[in-house]
A and B are shown apart, each in its own frame.
Chain A
Amino acid sequence: MSRADLAAGQVIRMSLLFRVQHLLLTVLLTVLAVTGFALMYHENSLAQWIIRLEGGVHNRGIVHRIAAVLLMANLVYHVFYMLLSREGKPELRQLFIGRQDIDDFLLSLRYNLGMAKEYPRFGKYGYKEKFQYWGASAGTVLVSVTGIMLWAEEFSMVFFPKVVLDLALIIHGYQGLLAFAVLFLWHLYNVHLHPSVFPMNPSWITGKVSAEWLREEHPLEYEKLKEEGLL
C-alpha cells in the first residue's frame, strides 16, 4: 500500500493479477452464458436471434468453445497461482472453509432474526465470499469436465456408453444454469446492491476499498492490517 493510498484511507483488496483473472472470468462467463443458453433455450425467439447474431449454430459452437478453453486456462492458471505463488498461498489459506464460517453463518442468521446482539466479525473473506468462491470453482470444474466430454464426443464414447454423454449434457446445461443464477442473484447483491457497496464495490476495477468499509464489513482483517502497521 502506497503512502498516497494510506493518506486517502484506501486498502488494497485485489492485486492486479487477481483483477485480470476476475475480469477474464467475468467476460468469459458472460460469453459462455449467452452462447450456451441460446442453445439450451433455442425455441425462444430471443435465443434464435442470438444464435443468428453469432452466425448460426456452428459458429455459436466455435465461440462457446473458444471462451471455454480460455476459461479453463484461466482456472488452471488460478489454481497454480493459488498453490505456488507468494501472494496466492496465504490468500488460499484465508479462503479455507472452517468451523468459524458455519458459526458466523448461524450467528448472522440469529442476528438478522433479532435473536443475537452481535453481528459476526469477518476476516478478509466472510462466509458469503467463500461460498461464492468455492461454488464458482466447483461449478467451473464440473462444467469443464462435462463440456470436454461433449466436445470430444467420439473419443468419449470409446469409453462411455451414450447414456453417460446424455448425463453429461444434462449436468452441463443445468450446472451452467445454476451457476448463472447464483452469480446473477448472489454476486449482484453482494457487490452491487448491498447497502454497504451500492452502486458497486470498486475493488474489481481499482483493486482498492476504503479502510472505513473494511472496518465495517471485515473488522478482523482491518484489525490485522492495523496491527501489522499497514494502516
Chain B
Amino acid sequence: MRKFALTAVLVFLGGAFLPGFARDASASISLEKCTLCHGKPEFRKLLVDGQIRDLFVTGDTLAGSVHAKKVCADCHFDVSEIPHRERPKRVACTHCHFKGNREGAPQSDNVLAYFDSAHGTAIARGNAKAPLCQDCHGSHAILKAKDPGSRVARGQVAETCGKCHMEIYAQFKGSIHGAALAKGIAEVPSCTGCHGEHKIYAHNDPKSTVYATHVSEQCSKCHASVKIMGKFGIETEQVATYKESFHGVASQFGSRTVANCSSCHGVHDIRPQDDPLSMVNPKNVPATCGKCHPGANPNFAVGKIHVDAKNKESGIIYWTATFFKWLTIGTMLALIAHIFLDMYGRTKRLRGER
C-alpha cells in the first residue's frame, strides 16, 4: 500500500522519470551551463500578474545548504537541454526523498504523512496555493531543521507558516507564546509545537492534534510539566483541575462542544491573565463564559476557576471537603464500633435468655 502511494505521489508530482533515468540526464548538464544565464543578478522575469520572479541562482546559493553538492539538474531533472524552451516544472522532492532511494537522501515517513495532511490533501484536490515541501523548507538554501537559520527552525517556523496564514501569525505574535518565542525562549511552542510538523490536519478533523477533544492533552504536554512550567513560575495544577471539572470530564468522554483550554484562553491569541486583552482577564470572563453560558455576569469571575479541593489555598472549598472527609470517616468508625458492640451485646443477651 505504501509503495503504491509512493508511486502515485511520484507520478502525481510530475516525477514520471525514474530516478536512474534522471541521473543520466543530469550528468550531462553542469552547473556552469545554467549559471551562464541564471548567474546574472539581473536575470528575472516579469510575470503576468505584474510580479517579478527573481531567477538569479549561482553555485553560492546552494553552498552551505544540505544540497551543496547537488547541481541544478539533480533536482530540475526535466531540463534536458540548455537553454530550456519550456518553464521547468516545480521540483518534486520525492524524486529523491523516498524510502529506499539510491541517492542516500534522508528519508522518513514525513513525506507520506504530508500527503495525508491538510496541506497534502489540498494539493491533491487541486489547490495550487497549498504548500509543497519547498514552500516551507525553502528552494535552494535548504538547511537542516535544527540549524537556527533554517526556515523550519523553531525560531523561524512561525514566520514561514505566516507567509500564508497571515492573520493567525499576527495573532500569534501578540500572544504570550509568540512574545516568548521572539525572546528566544526554547520551551515555548511555535505553530508546529501544537499542530505537528508534517501531520498537520484541520482543527475539525478528529486526526488533528488540536481537535476539540485533543486540545487539553496538547496543552498539557507542557503545562502539566513541573520541569517546564517551574522555569516560568506557572502553576501546573490547571491541567488536573480541568480534568476534574465538568468541562474536563465531558471532554474526556468525547464531548466536542464542552469548553477546552482554548475555549477560554484563546487559540492563537493566548495572553496572560493580567493582560486586558486576555480572554481570562476578570473583566473579560463574563464575555468568555457567555459564549456558552448565556447571561454570564461578573459572578463568573468571582472565585478561582481552576479550583482544587485538595489544595489548602482553595480556602473554604478545601475546608468543606476536609470537613466532609472527616465527618464521613468519623461516622463510619462510630457506626462500625456501634455495630460490633451491638452484636457483642446482642449475643450475650441471647445466651443469657437461653
**Number of B residues with CB within 8 Å of any CB on chain A:** 43
Residues of the A chain whose Cβ atoms lie less than 8 Å from the Cβ of B332: 181-182, 185
Q: Which residue of B lies closest to A157 (CB)?
A: B299
Judged by a CB distance under 8 angstroms, whether B328 is at the interface is yes
Are B293 and A153 touching (Cβ within 8 A)?
yes
Residues of the B chain whose Cβ atoms lie less than 8 Å from the Cβ of A37: none
Residues of the B chain whose Cβ atoms lie less than 8 Å from the Cβ of A113: 341, 345
Residues of the A chain whose Cβ atoms lie less than 8 Å from the Cβ of B302: 161-163
Given contacts A109-B341, A178-B327, A195-B347, A58 and B250 within 8 Å (CB-CB)? yes
Given contacts A112-B341, A153-B293, A170 and B321 within 8 Å (CB-CB)? yes
Q: Which residue of A lies closest to B345 (CB)?
A: A112
Chain B positions 311-351 with a Cβ under 8 Å from a chain A Cβ: 316-317, 320-321, 324-325, 327-328, 331-332, 335-336, 339, 341-350
Residues of the B chain whose Cβ atoms lie less than 8 Å from the Cβ of A227: none
Chain B positions 230-258 with a Cβ under 8 Å from a chain A Cβ: 249-250, 252-255
Residues of the B chain whose Cβ atoms lie less than 8 Å from the Cβ of A220: none
Are A57 and B253 touching (Cβ within 8 A)?
yes
* Most chain B Cβ neighbours within 10 Å, of A111, A157, A160: A157
Q: Which residue of A lies closest to B325 (CB)?
A: A174
Given contacts A42-B252, A51-B253, A56-B254, A171 and B295 within 8 Å (CB-CB)? no
Are A195 and B343 touching (Cβ within 8 A)?
yes
Residues of the A chain whose Cβ atoms lie less than 8 Å from the Cβ of B339: 185-186, 189
> When each residue 144-174 of chain A gets 1 if its CB lies under 8 Å from chain B and 0 otherwise, what string results?
0000000001100111111110110011001
Given contacts A119-B345, A157-B297, A162-B299, A167 and B316 within 8 Å (CB-CB)? yes
**Number of A residues with CB within 8 Å of any CB on chain B:** 39
**Closest Cβ of chain B: how far from A53's Cβ, in Å?**
12
Which of B253, B304, B307, B341 contacts A56 (CB under 8 A)? B253
Residues of the B chain whose Cβ atoms lie less than 8 Å from the Cβ of A114: 345, 348
Residues of the B chain whose Cβ atoms lie less than 8 Å from the Cβ of A203: none
CA A163 to CA B316, docked complex, whole Å: 9
**Closest Cβ of chain B: how far from A218's Cβ, in Å?**
15
> When each residue 37-60 of chain A gets 1 if its CB lies under 8 Å from chain B and 0 otherwise, what string results?
001001000000001000011100
CA A170 to CA B328, docked complex, whole Å: 13
**Closest Cβ of chain B: how far from A37's Cβ, in Å?**
13
Are B346 and A162 touching (Cβ within 8 A)?
no
Judged by a CB distance under 8 angstroms, whether A74 is at the interface is no
**Closest Cβ of chain A: how far from B251's Cβ, in Å?**
9
Given contacts A157-B297, A162-B301, A171 and B342 within 8 Å (CB-CB)? no
A sample of 8 cross-chain residue pairs with beta-carbon separation below 8 angstroms, ordered by A number, consists of A119-B349, A157-B293, A163-B303, A166-B317, A170-B317, A170-B320, A174-B324, A185-B335
Closest 9 CB pairs of A and B: A163-B303, A112-B345, A161-B302, A174-B324, A162-B303, A112-B341, A57-B253, A161-B299, A178-B328
